[in-house]
Amino acid sequence: MQHTKCLYYILLSAALLQFESAYCSLYDFVTCGSVVKLLNMDHSVRLHSHEVKYGSGSGQQSVTGVESSGDSNSYWRVRARTGVDCTRGYPVKCGSTLRLTHVATGRNLHSHVYSSPITNLQEVSAYGENGEGDLGDDWKLLCDSGDSADGGLWRRDGRVRLRHAVTEQYLHVAGQRFGRPIAGQAEVSAVVSPRPGSHWTVAEGIFVKPNESPAGAAASSAQSGSHDSSEL
């Protein structure tokens, strides 16, 4: 009898561990529809935008890097490439082309052949209205090679680069800072080849859970107090 009980508890423990592992793995990846803050790993600034236009170049809404972790203007929604919809909650594949839409203004992370104001590299701006712009809003997600073991999915803690789909230049921070009216914020630009300043990771986020309805995700988040939510 004692032997049977021990065997029962061993099997139960193994089943619980397997369930816990599978459950936790759902939350390891960035999913379509999630809202994230991207941190530049070399300069410790978050990708940011606001209702301040460049005084040169395209004159479009500026994109910068800020050190603050609490600024709501650093939230970007993860979406499929221009003209395509992705399924909410599905993990984003490495190598896919995507858009990042600035939550506060509804404009997309964008680049084109204008020069950036400080370094004269390729300008990065926020463009479009209500989340719709043009092909200059598309970026290819390039994950570090170590993430290939996870089925080629964008890990929340992974290092990634974003390569502009049209000009093939990489989202980058060189370290130079602006003066007024956005004093202390870092210039964000695009560069021809990957280099220090072009690695990014997810610092904070509001994540849509895989295979869960919006109502279910909201209820689960409210009960647990987590940052996993579908209220986007």
- What phi and psi values does residue 142 have, to the nearest 5 degrees? -115, 110
Average pLDDT (179-191) is: 93
For residue 173, pLDDT over 70 is answered with yes
What's the structural domain count of the chain? Answer: 1
Q: Three-state SS across 142-168? A: EECHHHHHHCCECECCCCEEEEECCCC
39-59 burial: b if 16+ Cβ within 10 Å, else e: bbbbbebbbbbbeeebeebbe
Closest CA relative to residue 136, chosen from 97, 164, 168, 172: 164
More confident residue, 48 or 181: 48
pLDDT score, position 215: 42
pLDDT score, position 210: 72
pLDDT score, position 182: 87
Identify whether 94 is part of a domain: yes
Q: Print the domain residue range for 48.
A: 29-224
Query: Vertex 197, ends 83 and 91: CA angle to 5°?
Result: 40
Asked whether the whole model's pTM tops 0.85, one would answer no
**Lowest-confidence range among 77-91, 167-181, 199-213?**
199-213
| CA dihedral of 93, 94, 98, 103, whole degrees rounded to 10 | 80
The helix/strand/coil state of 89 is: coil
Average pLDDT (55-80) is: 96
Identify whether 229 is part of a domain: no
Tell me the pLDDT tens digit for each residue of 81-112: 999 999 999 999 999 999 999 999 999 999 99
Alpha-helical (H) ranges within 26-123 are none
pLDDT score, position 114: 96
On average, the pLDDT of the chain sits at 83
Identify whether 81 is part of a domain: yes
Tell me the pLDDT tens digit for each residue of 131-172: 999 999 999 999 986 555 556 999 999 999 999 999 999 999
Identify whether 217 is part of a domain: yes
Amino acid symbol at 192:
V
CATH number at residue 161: 2.80.10.50
For residue 19, pLDDT over 60 is answered with no
More confident residue, 68 or 7: 68
Identify whether 44 is part of a domain: yes
The residues pairing with 140 across neighbouring beta strands, listed in sequence order, are: 97, 163
For residue 221, pLDDT over 70 is answered with no
For residue 218, pLDDT over 50 is answered with no
Identify whether 10 is part of a domain: no
Identify whether 134 is part of a domain: yes
For residue 17, pLDDT over 80 is answered with no
Identify whether 7 is part of a domain: no
